[in-house]
């Protein structure tokens, strides 16, 4: 489903950088679009497109990570990292869906085309309720996805480096005495 090795190194090490950049960027753009109408107007289709790129990067990174996990010691830290990584797909999908819905809800071109096909909603309050619900969900998902990326990154660093830097520090310090 994607590369597992790049230039002799595990592809996960490279692909994870796309996720670390794209998922928080999509979350930030979505939060800006929801909270700041001027930003929403300037960002336009960029928000759902970045969220889509993030959504594509996540399963590629997961696949390469699963490949790597089968080639390293499957200790509890690796298993925890893998479990957290598996949860990011839902966060990324929600970010993409909400970014697309928010864009479509506020895009004149989309609403003009869809309005004749949609059931009539004449009350401002129901439109406002939908917008507020979407906005709150978008903000919650934005924060949640960034927190999840942090948790995954921290657990990955723990899995990769646990016991290595401490023992190296002690051996380096011991050799200096």
27-59: pLDDT as tens digits: 999 999 999 989 998 999 999 999 999 999 999
Is the per-residue pLDDT at 172 higher than 90?
Answer: no
Burial class (CB in 10 A: 0-12, 13-18, 19+), 25: middle
Between 1 and 31, whose confidence is greater? Answer: 31
Backbone angles phi, psi at 6, to 5 degrees: -130, 120
Backbone angles phi, psi at 97, to 5 degrees: -60, -45
Q: What is the pLDDT of residues 100-134, one digit of tens each?
A: 999 988 877 665 565 555 555 444 446 788 889 99
Between 23 and 174, whose confidence is greater? Answer: 23
Q: What pLDDT does residue 36 have?
A: 93
Between 9 and 114, whose confidence is greater? Answer: 9
Q: Cα separation of 127 and 120, whole Å? A: 11
Q: Cα separation of 68 and 18, whole Å? A: 17
Mean pLDDT of all residues in the chain? Answer: 86
Burial class (CB in 10 A: 0-12, 13-18, 19+), 17: exposed
Q: Which residues contact 144 (CB under 8 A, 6 or more apart)?
A: 91
Is the per-residue pLDDT at 166 higher than 90?
Answer: no
**Angle at 80 (CA atoms; ends 143, 89), nearest 5 degrees:** 45
The single residue listed with the structure tokens 């759902």 is: 48
Burial class (CB in 10 A: 0-12, 13-18, 19+), 113: exposed
Alpha-helical segments (H) within the chain: 11-35, 37-43, 46-69, 76-106, 108-114, 124-161, 164-176
Q: What is the pLDDT of residues 83-102, one digit of tens each?
A: 999 999 999 999 999 999 99
Between 28 and 161, whose confidence is greater? Answer: 28
Q: Which residues contact 100 (CB under 8 A, 6 or more apart)?
A: 48, 51
């Amino acid at each position: 489903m994607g590369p597992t090795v790049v230039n002799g190194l595990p592809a996960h090490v490279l692909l994870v950088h796309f996720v670390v950049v794209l998922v928080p960027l999509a979350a930030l753009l979505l939060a800006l679009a929801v909270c700041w109408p001027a930003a929403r107007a300037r960002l336009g289709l960029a928000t759902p497109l970045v969220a889509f790129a993030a959504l594509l990067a996540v399963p590629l990174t997961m696949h390469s990570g699963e490949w790597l996990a089968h080639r390293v010691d499957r200790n509890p830290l690796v298993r925890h990292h893998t479990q957290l990584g598996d949860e990011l797909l839902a966060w990324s999908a929600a970010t993409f869906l909400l970014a697309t819905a928010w864009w479509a809800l506020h895009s004149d071109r989309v609403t003009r085309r869809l309005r004749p096909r949609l059931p009539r909603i004449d009350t401002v309050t129901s439109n406002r309720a939908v917008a507020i619900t979407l906005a709150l969900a978008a903000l919650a998902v934005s924060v949640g996805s960034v927190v999840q990326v942090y948790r995954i990154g921290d657990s990955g660093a723990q899995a990769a480096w646990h016991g290595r830097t401490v023992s190296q520090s002690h051996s380096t310090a011991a050799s200096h005495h």
